[in-house]
Structure 1
């Protein structure tokens, strides 16, 4: 077979794959900007932006293959155009990253002071807000000590446990108490284990606690269980390398709601800092102004959690809203939200941030323009790399 024949054969093979590459790449890239209409599409809407470096590579390959087959007719030109559009869309989080990072850096300096970075410069943390190689290989971590399934209590026969993650070297450590999310209905202390292991490797004792779930157990049962866990932590501090004078609460979604609610009124543990990812803060407004689209039916979730509508139970909705507990003297609070979140809209996080500031509290609000709810499910994703960079620094400063 001569060289010309081989080239023609290669073009035919490439032409066969062009439609699949181009249309497949466009379908995946479209979820970088499209909201999830239903729960079934939520993983795509959440994950697409987080794996944008992979999508950039896929669509670049599709464009190159289409370019190679241009001589075969108009179809290849159309697929080349499709791949170029998909490439631009999939690159949008990376294009926006520098500006988002700059705003986050300003927010941190405004709240913690211009010199905060110098004060924590000796702490080992991630070197940059985004490390491209980590987007492909994962965020590296080190070995830790893990103790799981520790029995805390058994209210109504429901076993409440906790997991503890610690550095290899024994000793009293600044401590993170983790509260998992899951619409107050699902989850366990092993949720977000990548984060727990990573922070333990950085020198923290991380304690992931448990609580009973709705709809069987409605609010305020969850706060009661969290207080029980706090008491257990206080009683077993030396056993698990806990520094009771340096404790932060960290939670995501429903867990972030419980973390802020507990942290704003804790009388058991002296909470030094709170980190809340994309959490509900004003349940009345959340019920009366649901997102659109609303892939998880947020009103149904709130009715399950509280036992009725905001019109039927107005006092309970206020009691369950961290926004209602804002007053001077609260722990420094870091609020992280995605601007594309259609489960907990970022405007509510900003409202809490503004009220904290009005009451002379230290607060940081970081909004990630391309991120959806639960963006940190992709631990090495673009959004979580940005969030983790500032969470590390916020905790290093507030727990030093």
Structure 2
């Protein structure tokens, strides 16, 4: 049938097949190849999280090449390219089952084999990963949203938070969400899908911000987090929050601030803290940066602290959550991508070991294919796994675990 088509249509099919094959491979290759520059970082973050779409693209390219090209050598080249793309885009799926099992075992080891029995009514996902949700998106429910509430104004800089609440008026556990951005950028609206989703599960979510480096250096950011916590305590009744059931959750720089705030001896009662790929040892992070290093971690740390560890050793120590791991601290859930080239997973493993050695409750969940900021793709496979266990951990800490250690 191909031979009966006009020559220009044959050329279009051949060009389309080669184009699709090359594009599919180019996008898929970032599932395994670390990105060398900040410009390419979105590809490194996103490729594993849209692997289902990439798999569809690569199969489409394979089919078009198989049926649409009659030049043997071009067909073999296009089929080979799309075949490699298919293999690469399948890699996260090939690791999915084992990763699910390892995560579940880590949760059960720390919380008990039957921890899910009494908390299932408090979280919404009945499955750890859904291919339907990956393609269609994770369903969300309506909530109440109150933005731009000023909680402090240090140096006349207005700091605001957004509040997400269930539709029904009541009293709910509170979750304070702290955004990332290298301590230099970000907004309370960052990762709003998560805030909306988790509020619909029966929580009051406070998404807060803080002053940014390099204009404001550490400890300005942790002071701002503490100001937000004080504000939430003062207005707990107004915002339908049970002040005795508060958890902190942060991402990247926000996770660092969440741990730092929860681990202080004079911290308000905190029932749990959740770190998504947060830096925990700034000294080691400075001297042992990732390879490649697309964001230049040392320059980010220098802007945050105000110098190098040699110049400001005490500040780097004070700003490192691992420095406080030997204290009695709240239960901690650590979630980290195995391919993180911003905040290396090796330092999160060291924090996990230090917390457990000190007798604290800590759980480390590793996602082997995931890069830094994997959860920006809300319905991706990495975030689906993380979301399921985040929900169950929050339900355990804020609804069921009456004897949880507040770290005070």
Residue 153 of structure 2 corresponds to residue 154 of structure 1: yes
Residue 15 of structure 2 corresponds to residue 16 of structure 1: yes
- SS of 2:52's equivalent in the other structure is helix
Distance 1:289 1:57 in 2: 38
Q: When the two structures are superposed, what TM-score results if normalisation uses the length of structure 2? A: 0.95
- The match for 1:289 is 288
| More displaced 10-residue stretch of structure 1: 379-388 or 71-80 | 71-80
- SS of 1:384's equivalent in the other structure is helix
- The match for 1:232 is 231
After superposition, the CA RMSD in angstroms is: 1.5
Going from structure 1 to structure 2, the CA distance change for 1:33 and 1:27 (only over 3 Å counts) comes to: same
- SS of 2:242's equivalent in the other structure is strand
Cα deviation for residue 217 of structure 1 reads: 0.7
Distance 2:385 2:294 in 1: 26
| More displaced 10-residue stretch of structure 1: 266-275 or 378-387 | 266-275
The one-character-per-residue Cα deviations of 1:244-280 (angstroms, maximum 9, x if unpaired) are: 1111000000000000000011635210000000010
Distance 1:313 1:151 in 2: 33
Q: Which runs of structure 2 are paired with 1:1-400 in the superposition (5 Å)?
A: 5-6=4-5, 11-69=10-68, 71-265=70-264, 267-400=266-399
5+ long unaligned stretches in structure 1:
none
- SS of 1:71's equivalent in the other structure is coil
Distance 1:4 1:345 in 2: 55
Going from structure 1 to structure 2, the CA distance change for 1:95 and 1:316 (only over 3 Å counts) comes to: same
Going from structure 1 to structure 2, the CA distance change for 1:128 and 1:8 (only over 3 Å counts) comes to: farther
- SS of 2:120's equivalent in the other structure is coil
- SS of 1:372's equivalent in the other structure is coil
Contact 1:70–1:77, Cα closer than 8 Å, also in 2? no
Going from structure 1 to structure 2, the CA distance change for 1:10 and 1:232 (only over 3 Å counts) comes to: same
| More displaced 10-residue stretch of structure 1: 71-80 or 299-308 | 71-80
* Superposition misfits of 4+ residues, deviation over 3 angstroms: 6-13
Contact 2:122–2:202, Cα closer than 8 Å, also in 1? no
Cα deviation for residue 204 of structure 1 reads: 0.6
Contact 2:51–2:90, Cα closer than 8 Å, also in 1? yes
| More displaced 10-residue stretch of structure 1: 131-140 or 49-58 | 131-140
Distance 1:4 1:117 in 2: 62
Cα deviation for residue 9 of structure 1 reads: 7.5
Distance 1:328 1:266 in 2: 8
Distance 2:258 2:267 in 1: 14
Contact 1:230–1:268, Cα closer than 8 Å, also in 2? no
Contact 1:146–1:164, Cα closer than 8 Å, also in 2? yes
Distance 1:70 1:143 in 2: 50
Contact 1:251–1:257, Cα closer than 8 Å, also in 2? yes
Contact 1:32–1:45, Cα closer than 8 Å, also in 2? yes
The one-character-per-residue Cα deviations of 1:193-222 (angstroms, maximum 9, x if unpaired) are: 111000011111000112111111110111
Distance 2:72 2:230 in 1: 72
Cα deviation for residue 12 of structure 1 reads: 4.5
Cα deviation for residue 329 of structure 1 reads: 2.6
Count of residues in Structure 1 that have an aligned counterpart in Structure 2? 399
| More displaced 10-residue stretch of structure 1: 368-377 or 120-129 | 120-129
Distance 2:181 2:123 in 1: 31
Contact 2:13–2:69, Cα closer than 8 Å, also in 1? no
| More displaced 10-residue stretch of structure 1: 67-76 or 319-328 | 67-76
Contact 1:330–1:361, Cα closer than 8 Å, also in 2? yes
- The match for 2:402 is none
- SS of 1:83's equivalent in the other structure is helix
Cα deviation for residue 327 of structure 1 reads: 2.6
Going from structure 1 to structure 2, the CA distance change for 1:352 and 1:268 (only over 3 Å counts) comes to: closer
Cα deviation for residue 3 of structure 1 reads: 9.1
Contact 2:2–2:10, Cα closer than 8 Å, also in 1? no
- SS of 1:271's equivalent in the other structure is coil
Cα deviation for residue 10 of structure 1 reads: 6.0
